[in-house]
Amino acid sequence: MGTDKLIKFDESLLTGVEEMDNQHKKLVEAFNKVYSLIKEGKKEEALKVFIKDLKEYTEFHLKEEEKFLEEINYPEIEKHKRLHQQFRKIVFSLEEKIKEGNPESLREAISIAWGWIHVHIAKSDKKYGEYYKNLYKNQS
Ligand SMILES: [Fe+2]
Ligand SMILES: [Fe+2]
């Protein structure tokens, strides 16, 4: 990959729910930071940043998002929570790969995690954004 940014945050990732969009941006930033540290071969630092900025922030975000979905009575909340559960497993295995430090499997784990984040935000998170937008429309 040519750039040190793995994920570009663009419009396709906007849900329209400001707080969630801000959290997604932070998540993407943290992901890019870990990715570039790995690319630079700074394994120790990558692990530190991973745990502090990515792993903990992911957990924070998933919980906040689930809280939000409860508040708006999102009909697909259970399905959405199950998807988040999947992602926790992916993050866990990414941590293992960073610790192991095998470049090949680490690259694979990163690309799985990135693929997951992108598809999840662009499809599933955007879907609650649509629901929220309609909710608001019908109330006004
Ligand atoms: Fe989500
Ligand atoms: Fe999300």
Ligand at shortest distance from the CA of 58: 2
Q: How far is the CA of 92 from the centre of ligand 2 (A)?
A: 17
Q: How far is the CA of 125 from the centre of ligand 2 (A)?
A: 6
In this prediction, residue 46 has a pLDDT band, given cuts at 50, 70 and 90, of very high
Specify if 7 maps to a domain.
no
Specify if 10 maps to a domain.
no
The domain in which residue 70 lies consists of 17-139
Q: How far is the CA of 124 from the centre of ligand 1 (A)?
A: 6
pLDDT tens digits for range 51-64:
999 999 999 999 99
Q: Report yes or no: 4 and 36 within 8 Å, Cβ to Cβ.
A: yes
Q: Which two tokens stand for residue 21?
A: 């969009």
Give the total number of structural domains in the chain: 1
Q: What is the pLDDT of residue 15?
A: 97
Q: What is the pLDDT of residue 57?
A: 95
pTM, rounded to two decimals: 0.90
| AA identity, residue 87 | F
Ligand at shortest distance from the CA of 128: 1
Nearest one of 137, 135, 138 to 69, comparing CA atoms: 135
CATH number for the domain that contains residue 23:
1.20.120.50
Q: How far is the CA of 87 from the centre of ligand 1 (A)?
A: 9
Q: How far is the CA of 127 from the centre of ligand 1 (A)?
A: 10
| Cα 82 to Cα 66: distance, rounded to the nearest angstrom | 11
Q: Report yes or no: 40 and 11 within 8 Å, Cβ to Cβ.
A: no
Residue-wise over 63-95: b if at least 16 C-beta within 10 A, else e? eebeebbeeeebeebeebeebbeebeebbeebb
Higher pLDDT among residues 127 and 103, named by residue: 127
Q: What is the pLDDT of residue 2?
A: 46
